[in-house]
A and B are shown apart, each in its own frame.
Chain A
């Protein structure tokens, strides 16, 4: 969200109608203190305002000003008290509502904050107050509410680009990308503004339009320093399987921030998909060196070592990450894959690993498939069949469990069941290992939505 230019004075004076109007004496007092606040003479201002509220104990504007001074001094509890006192005197005091809401929001009291932002918006027609309330609601993740408030601000000043941008962002986040696109179309010279292009790219993506990734790429080109722009552009390219394009947008960003944790894994993934395994291993290694606690980088590196046949290195990388008891389930799954392939003597350890993976995530069909295979190797056909069946219950388009089920049924002399399983296997089609692993891992290795 863009911050709208605001003014302390405006926030202090935004009042709802005549009923909120302070006395002339209070106003005089406030105008006497304001220069001190603006010059940063906060202790002096605090002293004057404390004496002011003694003199005018029912003055909402002085309590509000005192709250601002406390806020500026990071005395949050005192600030909140002062704003509450102002609101106790004048419940619909918009400025105090916005200030208190802002503190609540910062302190994680989103529900209370959102309520105050809403209430402030309901009680004002002031452009700045509406813009601030809308922004606050968006920060509290009430995007629909934010969109409604910002629409009012936008109606007041249609040329205020920051509000239009924020409105579009709120509309996009509230799941109305068509409205967002309409709002963005009113921004002039959008092509020169990276954040507008980035948002438009996301909106177009949300609408399933092919131009979306182009806007994301353009945003990244305008501001390659902004990692999120380049990461989103790369992500969009990866999702469209345009890996060369992904690398093209990532390279300038990585030149500026070589250790970027949002760019390196995407670079690694793109290089992997282009078969540039050594480069991909370097990217994931760099990401891991930057922050060894990031499971996604470790998973990427471990997976690459696995698919390139360096099982010993894969094991070391993965087991290092598994020292963290909160490690992602996929790391344990990867460990099981590596141990299974490394040696038949390590099957027990592989079984332990896949059990841990399943404990952490019982919804990942490949883990059941892998455990089924290990059980099958140990002639535990009942357990293996249970696992294979579980895998296809979770993913009915998963062909491989049927293949193994057919093998077990054949061994058990259950000819008809074997044929049925084989038929299902054939119907589901078959892919190469590379393709299956890509499918399974790409979602795991891709960063989550921004």
Chain B
């Protein structure tokens, strides 16, 4: 762990000098513009009203990427399929939507070469060959797809050639690119959920056992009672191929987890990326990077495996944020209903404390959370938390329990004193709309400092929740361009100082629930019209600093202290 003085939490000071934003003054209102924007692909995930297998319940993720490098972030929406498609039905495919830069999108799936049908799960983005174009990895129940970006608006599927396709019958879930050995080439981590086996050979029938019931009604079995799968780490060989180093790197030393959401972050500020994996009904995993090409699971001793009492949870989505500005990245994780999410405060000594109740995030307990985004939606310089929710299957509603299949979103505003206020119901009626949501990600679609959230809604068209009106407060966006480090700067730590505000974040592939947010970093500046200093600590070890950056714009920082104008 790096030595160095721990920052004083600004929350205390801020609480004294700042008038806290309340529900009455929360400035952001979202509208679901999906239909207007042209996002018309409907999610498919097995039976609409009746689900026989757990595979039909988990839904899929979403990914933002600027695939054509036109400066506008585009959108990839992962799709599933049916166990048995009715005759004459078109095979469902995932969708790539090109951002037209005017609030609309065009479905370019087929022309981009991405029309593929299967049990799509998650997606993560990185420029794995450092050619300047972001590539796309999509996980499946079955063989994964690695889409190499040809730089001309099309992709070529190379998973088998690259050695990351995996095998039939494997249930790959969350994924993230990371440069775990800091060699300048991004590697790939792929979580796996349940070992269903090919053709679901390992799965009993709904209602057939202890783990096939929910509140007295028979539902699809699992994950408990089903064999757990194992996670994979692929090392980037630098020639378009990867090597499976899972065993050698210690990834296989953990067993019996049902892994879903993946978060890469440097939790101990040692400059090496660690991997946190949200696990369902089992201990979550924190792979601590040993800096020698291996990882060691410190989930339990760190406090990130369970809730504060040591109780198992059903982890789904996960995000990192420094919610109290103490210079260490904290973790927020969504969980099952009849439970609370986690807000793990990073104690700065390798351990975390779950402060979900102190923070006011533990009160609503009938939400089943999936995607989670930590971002500063009101640009006040403090990260807020957005969660999307929904229950497993429509059959849940027959139980007449308080936990409904369709649930609203949750938006929590950071009150700067270690606590959050639920501002969902004052953030526009579309946030209160009822859906069974799964993957979620955020991006600045118009490069104007306003973050839009896309949500993959089970059996529906996606929601595209865009903020109304101009951006509140000031902000800056930071895009990284690695030279010695990987091209996207994945794993780079960026610190922005403006007045008393001192914020950190990292460029991150994957995250949330099987999803990918904008690779560019977004920082709110509150009333400040410039960032006094922007510091980038690159995975290569290089540190670049720029001073006096005017607000309300994106800057591109190239490794080696060059600042470019964004496209």
Query: Is A275 in contact with B336, judged by CB distance below 8 angstroms?
Result: no
* Interface stretch of the complex, out of B97-105, B300-308, B372-380, B510-518: B300-308
A275 near B364 with CB under 8 A, answer no
Residues B312 and A422 in contact, CB atoms below 8 Å apart: no
Decide: A432 near B314, CB < 8 A? Known: A274-B399, A276-B401, A341-B357.
Answer: yes
Q: Which 5 A-B pairs have the closest CB atoms?
A: A403-B310, A275-B401, A309-B363, A275-B215, A434-B338
Cβ-defined partner of B301 (8 Å) among A308, A341, A418, A430: A418
Task: State the CA gap A436–B309 with chains docked (Å).
Answer: 11
The 8 Å CB contact of A432, one of B301, B339, B364, B399, is: B339
Known: A275-B338, A430-B310, A434-B338. A406 touches B301 (CB 8 A): yes
- The answer to whether A309 touches B362, judged by C-beta atoms less than 8 angstroms apart, is yes
With A307-B338, A309-B364, A407-B303 known to touch, is A274 a contact of B216 (CB < 8 Å)?
A: yes
Q: A344 near B358 (CB under 8 angstroms)?
A: yes
CB distance from A309 to the nearest CB of B (A): 4
Cβ of B300: which chain A residues have Cβ within 8 Å of it?
403, 406, 422, 425-426
Contacts A341-B357, A400-B311 known; 4 new A-B pairs at CB < 8 A: A273-B215, A274-B400, A275-B401, A425-B300
A–B Cβ pairs within 8 angstroms, 14 of them: A242-B216, A274-B216, A275-B338, A275-B366, A275-B399, A276-B399, A277-B401, A369-B309, A400-B309, A400-B311, A402-B310, A410-B351, A431-B311, A432-B313
The answer to whether the Cβ of B296 comes within 8 Å of any Cβ in the partner chain is no
| A433 and B339 form a contact (CB under 8 A) | yes
Q: Residues of A contacting B357 with CB < 8 Å?
A: 341-342
Residues of B within 8 Å of A407, CB to CB, are: 303, 351
Are A404 and B310 closer than 8 Å at their CB atoms? yes
Known contacts A407-B303, A422-B301; A400/B366 CB under 8 A: no
Q: At the interface, yes or no: B403 with Cβ under 8 Å from chain A?
A: yes
A244 within 8 A of B: yes
Q: Which residue of B lies closest to A344 (CB)?
A: B358
A400-B311, A430-B306, A432-B311 known; A277-B366 Cβ under 8 A: yes
Q: Is A309 within 8 A of B399, CB to CB?
A: no
Contact yes or no, A373 B309, CB < 8 A: yes
Q: Which residues of the other chain, B, contact A275 by a CB distance below 8 angstroms?
A: 215, 337-338, 366, 399, 401-403
Q: Are A403 and B306 in contact (CB under 8 A)?
A: yes
Return the CB mask of B360-373 against A: 1 if under 8 Å, else 0: 00111110000000
Is there a chain A Cβ closer than 8 Å to B281's Cβ? yes
Chain B residues with CB under 8 Å of A369's CB are 309
Q: Is the CB of B215 within 8 A of A274?
A: yes
**Distance between Cα atoms of A310 and B362 in the complex (Å):** 10
Q: Mark B380-403, 1 if CB is under 8 A from A, else 0.
A: 000000000000000000011111
B283 beta carbon closer than 8 Å to chain A: yes
Interface string of B257-284 (1 = CB under 8 A from A): 0000000000000000000000001010
A274 to B303, CA, bound (A): 31
The SS class assigned to the B binding surface is loop
The answer to whether A311 has its CB under 8 Å from any CB of chain B is: yes
Separation of A278 and B403 alpha carbons in the complex (Å)? 11
Residue of A nearest to B355 (CB): A344
Which B residues lie within 8 Å of A244 (CB)?
216
Q: Are A341 and B281 in contact (CB under 8 A)?
A: no
Write out the residue numbers on chain B whose beta carbons fall within 8 Å of the beta carbon of A402.
310
A399 in the interface, Cβ–Cβ < 8 Å? yes
Chain A residue contacts of B310, Cβ below 8 A: 399-400, 402-404, 425, 430
Complex formed: what's the CA distance from A275 to B399 in Å? 8
Per-position binary interface string of chain B over residues 424-439, scored 1 when its CB falls under 8 Å from any chain A CB and 0 otherwise:
0000000000000000
Smallest CB separation, A217 vs chain B (Å)? 16
Contact residues in A for B400 (Cβ distance below 8 Å): 274, 276
| A278-B402 contact in complex given A311-B363, A433-B311, C-beta closer than 8 Å | yes
1/0 contact trace for A410-442 toward B, CB 8 Å?
100000001000100110001111101000000
Residues in A204-233 with C-beta less than 8 Å from chain B: none
Cα separation A275 to B309 with both chains bound (whole Å): 23
Q: Which of A138-161 contact B (CB under 8 A)?
A: none
Residues of chain B with a CB closer than 8 A to A406's CB: 300-301
Closest A residue, CB atoms, query B365: A309
B216 with A243: CB separation less than 8 A: yes
Nearest-Cβ distance from residue A378 to partner chain B, whole angstroms: 14
The CA of A311 and the CA of B362, in the complex, are separated in Å by 11
Asked whether, in the complex, the Cβ of A432 is within 8 Å of the Cβ of B336, the reply is yes
Instruction: Please give me the residue from chain B that is nearest to A402 by CB atom.
Output: B310
Closest residue of A by beta carbon distance from B307: A433
How far, in angstroms, from A343 to B365 measured CA to CA in the complex?
Answer: 17
- A418, closest chain B residue (CB): B301
Task: For B362, list chain A residues within 8 Å (CB).
Answer: 309, 341
Q: Quick one: closest A residue to B309, CB to CB? A: A400
A275 to B396 CA separation, bound complex (whole angstroms): 10
Instruction: Chain B residues near A310: list those with CB within 8 A.
Output: 363
Q: How far is the CA of A407 from the CA of B366 in the complex (A)?
A: 30
With both chains docked as a complex, state the minimum distance between the C-beta of A415 and any C-beta of chain B, in angstroms: 10
Using CB atoms, name the residue of chain A closest to B210. A241
Contacts of A311 in B (CB 8 A): 363
CB-based nearest B residue for A345: B358
The residue of chain A having its C-beta at the shortest distance from the C-beta of B213 within the complex is: A241
Q: In whole angstroms, what is the CA distance A410 to B347 when docked?
A: 14
> Which chain B residues numbered 315 to 344 have a C-beta less than 8 Å away from chain A?
336-340
Q: Which B residues between 182 and 240 are near A, CB-CB below 8 angstroms?
A: 215-216
Return the contact of B283 from the options A307, A308, A430 (Cβ within 8 A): A430
Complex: chain A residue closest to B337, CB-CB? A275
Q: Which chain A residues border B351 with CB–CB below 8 Å?
A: 407, 410
Chain B nearest Cβ from A294, distance in angstroms = 25
A residues less than 8 Å from B337 (CB atoms)? 275
- Name the one of B281, B306, B366 contacting A308, with C-beta atoms under 8 angstroms: B366
Q: Which residues of A contact B339 (CB under 8 A)?
A: 432-434
* Shortest Cβ gap from B330 to chain A (Å): 17
Measured between beta carbons, the chain B residues less than 8 angstroms from A425 are: 300, 310
Neighbouring A residues of B216 by C-beta, 8 Å: 241-244, 273-274
Closest Cβ of chain A: how far from B400's Cβ, in Å? 6
Does A430 contact B311, Cβ atoms closer than 8 Å? yes
Chain A's nearest CB lies how many Å from the CB of B315? Answer: 11
Q: Are the C-beta atoms of A307 and B365 separated by less than 8 Å?
A: yes
Residues of B with C-beta under 8 A to A241: 216
Chain B residue numbers with a CB within 8 Å of A342 are 357
In the assembled complex, which residues on chain A have CB atoms less than 8 Å from the CB atom of B340?
Answer: 309
Contacts of B336 in A (CB 8 A): 432
Contacts of B314 in A (CB 8 A): 432
Chain A residues, Cβ within 8 Å of B401: 274-277
Shortest Cβ gap from B60 to chain A (Å): 25
Which residues on B sit within 8 Å (CB–CB) of A243?
215-216
What chain A residues lie within 8 Å of B313 (beta carbons)? 432-433
A274 to B403, CA, bound (A): 10
Nearest neighbor of A429 in chain B, beta-carbon distance: B312
**Min CB gap B212→A, angstroms:** 13
Distance in Å: Cβ of A268 to nearest Cβ of chain B: 14
* Cβ-defined partner of A404 (8 Å) among B309, B338, B358: B309
Chain A nearest CB, measured from B52 CB (Å): 21
Q: Is B312 in contact with A430, judged by CB distance below 8 angstroms? A: yes
CB proximity of A76 to chain B, nearest CB, Å:
53
Greatest chain B CB density within 10 A among A311, A369, A410, A430 is at: A430
Say yes or no: A403 contacts B309, CB within 8 Å.
yes
- Between B303, B337, B338, the greatest number of chain A beta carbons within 10 A of the residue's beta carbon is seen for B338
**CB closest residue in chain B, given A403:** B310
